[in-house]
Amino acid sequence: SQTIHQWPATLVQPVGSPLSLECTVEGTSNPNLYWYRQAAGRGLQLLFYSVGIGQISSEVPQNLSASRPQDRQFILSSKKLLLSDSGFYLCAWSSLAGGETQYFGPGTRLLVL
Amino acid sequence: SQQGEEDPQALSIQEGENATMNCSYKTSINNLQWYRQNSGRGLVHLILIRSNEREKHSGRLRVTLDTSKKSSSLLITASRAADTASYFCATGGKTSYDKVIFGPGTSLSVIP
């Protein structure tokens, strides 16, 4: 069966520090991968999605970036965190492109101080 | 772009009662999905209904879709305290380039 992992679960970082969040998927090949951010009590904002290795589409201009160095690995990064980067970051995968079912990881709660 | 908007934003009911949440969207869709999120956790997919379907059941869940009104409803029957969570609708677009768009969610509290 397929599983998706995210780490770390929680992270407290100072403003201006770098960020690296990792997401890996097991049990499937060529998944579509997504990074979302969720503000407290709000819906999900799509940040990046990828349909293959090295293929990244950005939805929202910001100081974040994403990379997909391997088929089942998706990394969210920042060179310098802002206070506004605080939030709950969710990684998800789907087996088909477009608007099909997505399967979410447990999330990373990021607090930038 | 298509967008799901749930209402109510928050709903509080007694255990055993039915809970109904609604979702409206703006453009043509291929499918509509409902997800559940427990506090501080990832989302869990509940059910997907395609644009050519009108109603779908899964256990205590019943989802309806009215494409003429661009709306959907999620009914949870005989609610339990464990159903307390946030519920999101998400719309899938017509083409493979469209992404799933999530609404802001309905926060459901089931009081024992």
Q: Do A99 and B98 count as a contact with CB atoms less than 8 A apart? A: yes
Is the distance from CB of B56 to CB of B49 less than 8 angstroms? yes
Q: For position B61, what pLDDT does the model report?
A: 98
In terms of CA atoms, which chain A residue is nearest residue B4?
A43
Question: At A2, is the secondary structure helix, strand, or coil?
Answer: coil
Q: Pick B94 or B43 by higher pLDDT.
A: B43
Q: Do A107 and B42 count as a contact with CB atoms less than 8 A apart? A: yes
Largest CA distance in chain B: 44
Mean pLDDT, residues A4-24 taken together: 96
How many degrees, rounded to 5, is the angle at CA B106 between CA A75 and CA A87? 30
pLDDT score of A62 more than 90: no
Look at chain A and report how many structural domains it folds into. Answer: 1
Domain that holds residue A59: 3-112
Return the CATH number at A59: 2.60.40.10
CA distance B2 to A106: 26
Q: How many residues does chain B have?
A: 112
Measure A25 CA to nearest chain B CA, in Å: 14
Q: Domains, chain B, ranges and CATH?
A: 5-111 (2.60.40.10)
Average pLDDT, chain A: 91
In terms of CA atoms, which chain A residue is nearest residue B97?
A98
Contact of B40 with chain A, judged by CB distance below 8 Å, is answered with yes
pLDDT score of A26 more than 80: yes
pLDDT score of B2 more than 50: no
CA distance B69 to B71: 5
Interface test with B, best of A102, A108, A109, A111 (most B CBs within 10 A): A102
Contact of A59 with chain B, judged by CB distance below 8 Å, is answered with yes
Q: Do A98 and B99 count as a contact with CB atoms less than 8 A apart? A: yes
Q: Do A43 and B102 count as a contact with CB atoms less than 8 A apart? A: yes
CA distance A67 to A64: 10
Q: What is the pLDDT of residues A80-91, one digit of tens each?
A: 999 999 999 999
